[in-house]
Amino acid sequence: MMSAATSRDLVVIGASAGGVEALRSLVSQLPADLPAAVLVVLHLPAGSTSVLATILDDAGRLPAEPAEHGAPIHRGRLYVAQPDHHLLLDGDRQVMSSGPTENGHRPAVNALFRSAALARGPLVAGIVLSGVLDDGTAGLAAIKARGGLAIVQDPDDAAYRGMPDNALAAVAVDHVLPAAAIGEQLAGLLGVPVDPVPPAEPDPLLRYEHALALSGVAAALTPSPASAPQDCSARTATPNSR
């Protein structure tokens, strides 16, 4: 279900090798009142312990926390995928799935991006950062096809340019910027009005691939009453769950 929002209120970011520094640079420039929820996938090995939420919480003004199955997303907060679980969306709620790996990864960037494209259509901004190979390219194409905004880190600014280069070769992206400049300009880019009318029916292949990613969901979610991220721009003093 599409919300009545007329500007983009969901940001999805994908990164791999060299992605921690790119994410730190981007997040350090985001305003505390960013009018969007931010979901992040960084390639992580199965069985590892991620401290990325702590790193990003310390790096900027947005509260950052690990993703949690079934929890709602809020504007002005940042959610980080956990190892060995795809991060997906069900309306305004986070979904953790142990569905098939993609490009050898779980979490995978494409899985998050496809899910966001289906859930939020033109109200999504997708960002591809440093990494090798091409995870994120197909997902960014899906976001663009559904009317969303496509942003790629300048390959010359990336520690590993494979993911940015592949995205640029396959997708008509809207902006190519250094990571820090993405953070500086993101609020303004999100504020550009968009057509709230849902785009055309999504490609059946997009639905099929999303269904595969969902196949490992641990438990069904109760449908949420609204699909828009809730406003939670004020930072709280409550420590994040690590």
Strand order in the sheet with 78-80: 64-66, 78-80, 37-42, 10-15, 124-128, 149-153, 175-177
Structural contact between residues 122 and 97, judged by C-beta atoms closer than 8 angstroms? no
Residue type, position 23, single letter: L
Structural contact between residues 86 and 146, judged by C-beta atoms closer than 8 angstroms? no
What residues does 177 pair with on adjacent strands?
A: 153
The two structure tokens encoding residue 2: 């599409």
Element housing 65 (H / E): strand 64-66
Termini Cα distance of the chain: 32
Query: What is the secondary structure of 68-101 as a DSSP string?
Result: -TTPBPEET-EEEPPTT-EEEEETTEEEEE----
Residue 38 neighbours by CB distance under 10 Å:
26
Supply the residues annotated as catalytic. 16, 43, 135
Element housing 7 (H / E): none
